[in-house]
Homo-oligomer: A and B are copies of this chain.
Amino acid sequence: MESLAKTSVSETGAPSGSAKGRQTRQAIIDCALQMAGRIGLEGLSIGVLADRMDMSKSGVFAHFGSREDLQIAVIRSYHDQFEQEVFYRAIAQPRGMPRLAAMVQRWLQRVSVEMETGCIYISSAVEFDDRPGPVREALVAMIQTWHDAVRRAIAQAIECGHLKADTDPQQLMFQIHGYILALHHDARLLRLPNSLALACRSLDALLRAQATPAGLALLTPCQAHASQAAQGDVAH
Contacts and interface: CB of A to CB of B under 8 A. Distances in A.
A125 B184 CA distance: 10
Nearest to A174: B198
Interface in A33-91: 38-40
- The count of identical subunits is 2
A222 interface: no
Interface in A153-204: 170-171, 174-175, 177-182, 185-186, 188-190, 194-195, 198-199, 201-202
Nearest to A182: B178
A129 interface: yes
A195 B209 contact: no
A96 interface: no
Contacts of A174: 179, 182, 186, 195, 198-199, 202
Contacts of A144: 190
A175 B179 contact: yes
B178 A202 contact: yes
Nearest to A39: B130
19 contacts: A38-B130, A40-B126, A123-B126, A125-B185, A125-B188, A125-B189, A126-B127, A128-B189, A171-B201, A174-B179, A174-B198, A174-B202, A175-B178, A177-B182, A177-B186, A178-B179, A178-B181, A178-B182, A178-B202
Given A140-B189, A182-B181, A122 B126 contact: yes
A169 to B, nearest CB: 11
Max chain B Cβ within 10 angstroms of own Cβ: one of A127, A129, A170: A129
A98 interface: no
A112 to B, nearest CB: 15
A175 B190 contact: no
Contacts of A123: 126
